């Protein structure tokens, strides 16, 4: 059976025993000579150490957490930590409003709830995304319209969005996958021309920028995740950003059982709501973690740029390209495509096995979502058949073809953000590991 590591599992497995970024890496292997074998064939590992552990914690986390513990106010309604976090996140992103919630999924769910997305509505999403983007649409009995991927950038192919719009389209949700911004110029233009709001799924994209503006602040709203693997993390958590005051109030209502904030100006009375509140403990950890975010973002970017330079020199390794409007990527993932042509047709699975043996953790990323059973079975879901009818659901199933994405899902290789917190030398070791594998591809096929 084909086994793929889940992204979160992947990040936690390979970061537990790591070193702090401040620690040096004395056991560097210089294997640029052509006779050094890959580790899978008995040679020394290209990267014998461990990448930085995740999350990084210090005294600050203890102070903030103890503060909440001792205050005996652990819920946000009477506490201070979530409010402090919201103010600081607003300040570093340049957004007018921020709402902390219990997860990234619930940030998206809150936004859809506040927009009153429901049965009969269509929501445009990329096919290359984490399942949560799809799930929040389906939880509202709306129809997810999957758009193919731009294989060079791994992002939603913005040129294919317009043809997926119908009179039932109520929302477009671009995802900044891997933490790199989607083509927001094109997407915002389409949204404006068709009068359809844009909800940015920025769950992987903390501090990423499009033309100097933080992502999550360019559409009507932006959703963020603070789940354990994320660049900003409190175990589980999420936030919504928006510049629209009324929308911010609706989101607050939706996440707080329909109860309005004390200072509300919005006449809207919600008829559906939930409890999706962030706890004070989550808020306190985020306050401490946020203090390192800017430095970590810079370090990831510098290392990613260096790695791209090194990998671009290797034939048939294609690092994900950034759009011209990207002024910062969050590099939640470092993603590249592997074309086995220049590697004697060595399978991607074997390449990844060999990389792991070199001490370079990696995964193949997402499966083709449109082919997953949980997606194809939607066409048989009794509620969907009631709402949309058999013909619409059959047509929906048949239209779910994403050939570029199919190819990408066969070729993608992911490295995690924690690896980009390593040293420059470690970026060289990643490239060296790939080069070793390339040189010995024929022997690896036989092994």
Q: Which residues bind ligand PLP (CB under 6 A)?
A: 103-105, 129-130, 132-133, 175, 201, 203-204, 225, 227, 238
- Tell me whether residue 346 or residue 415 sits nearer to ligand PLP (CB atom): 415
Per-residue DSSP letter, 256: B
Closest by alpha carbon to 173, among 233, 128, 236?
128
230 among known catalytic residues: yes
Phi then psi for 310, rounded to 5 degrees? -70, -45
Residue with smallest beta-carbon separation from ligand PLP? 104
Judged by DSSP in three states, 52 sits in coil
Rg, the chain, Cα only: 23
- Tell me whether residue 9 or residue 78 sits nearer to ligand PLP (CB atom): 9
Contact predicate 81/254, CB 8 Å? no
Closest CB 136 distance from ligand PLP, rounded Å:
8
User: Which pair of structure tokens corresponds to residue 40?
Assistant: 């899978």
- Tell me whether residue 105 or residue 110 sits nearer to ligand PLP (CB atom): 105
What angle in degrees, to the nearest 10, is found between the helix axes of 104-114 and 131-139? 40
- Tell me whether residue 204 or residue 289 sits nearer to ligand PLP (CB atom): 204
Beta-carbon count within 10 A of 40 CB: 19
Contact predicate 370/402, CB 8 Å? yes
What angle in degrees, to the nearest 10, is found between the helix axes of 59-71 and 280-290? 160
**Considering 230, 350, 436, 438, which one is annotated as catalytic?**
230
Closest CB 185 distance from ligand PLP, rounded Å:
21
* Cα–Cα distance for residue pair 424/26, rounded to 1 Å: 13
- Tell me whether residue 129 or residue 411 sits nearer to ligand PLP (CB atom): 129
Can you name the residues that pair with 326 across neighbouring β-strands? 210
Which residues are marked as active site?
230
């Amino acid at each position: 059976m084909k086994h793929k590591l889940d992204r979160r599992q992947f990040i936690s497995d390979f970061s537990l025993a790591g070193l702090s970024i401040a620690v040096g890496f004395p056991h560097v292997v210089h294997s640029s000579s052509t006779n050094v074998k890959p580790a899978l064939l008995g040679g020394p590992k290209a990267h014998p150490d461990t990448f930085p552990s995740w999350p990084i914690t210090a005294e600050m986390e203890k102070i903030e957490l103890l503060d909440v513990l001792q205050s005996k106010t652990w819920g946000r309604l009477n506490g201070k930590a979530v409010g402090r976090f919201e103010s600081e996140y607003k300040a570093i992103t340049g957004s007018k409003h921020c709402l902390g919630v219990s997860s990234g999924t619930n940030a998206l769910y809150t936004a859809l709830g506040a927009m009153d997305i429901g049965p009969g509505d269509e929501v445009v999403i990329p096919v290359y995304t984490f399942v949560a983007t799809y799930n929040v649409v389906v939880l509202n009995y709306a129809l997810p319209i999957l758009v193919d991927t731009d294989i060079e950038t791994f992002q939603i192919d913005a040129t294919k969005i317009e043809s997926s719009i119908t009179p039932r389209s109520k929302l477009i949700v671009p995802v900044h996958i891997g933490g790199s911004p989607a083509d927001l110029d094109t997407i915002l233009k389409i949204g404006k021309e068709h009068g359809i709001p844009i909800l940015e799924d920025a769950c992987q994209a903390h501090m990423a920028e499009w033309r100097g503006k933080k992502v999550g602040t360019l559409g009507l709203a932006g959703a963020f995740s603070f789940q354990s693997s994320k660049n900003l993390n409190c175990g589980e958590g999420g936030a919504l950003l928006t510049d629209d005051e009324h929308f911010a109030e609706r989101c607050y209502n939706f996440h707080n059982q329909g109860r309005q904030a004390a200072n509300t100006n919005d006449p809207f009375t919600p008829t559906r709501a939930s409890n999706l509140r962030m706890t004070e403990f989550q808020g306190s950890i985020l306050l401490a973690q946020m203090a390192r975010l800017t430095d970590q973002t810079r370090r990831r970017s510098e290392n990613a740029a260096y790695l791209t330079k090194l990998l671009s020199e290797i034939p048939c390794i294609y690092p994900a390209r950034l759009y011209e409007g990207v002024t910062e990527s969050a590099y939640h993932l470092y993603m590249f495509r592997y074309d086995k042509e220049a590697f004697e047709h060595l399978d991607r699975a074997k390449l990844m096995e060999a990389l792991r043996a070199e001490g370079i953790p990696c995964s193949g990323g997402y499966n083709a979502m449109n082919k997953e059973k949980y997606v194809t079975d939607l066409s048989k879901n009794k509620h969907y058949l009631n709402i949309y009818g058999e013909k619409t659901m059959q047509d929906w199933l048949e239209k779910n073809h994403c050939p570029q994405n199919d190819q990408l899902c066969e070729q993608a290789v992911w490295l995690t953000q924690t690896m980009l917190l390593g040293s420059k030398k470690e970026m060289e070791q990643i490239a060296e590991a790939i080069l070793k594998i390339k040189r010995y591809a024929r022997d690896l096929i036989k092994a």
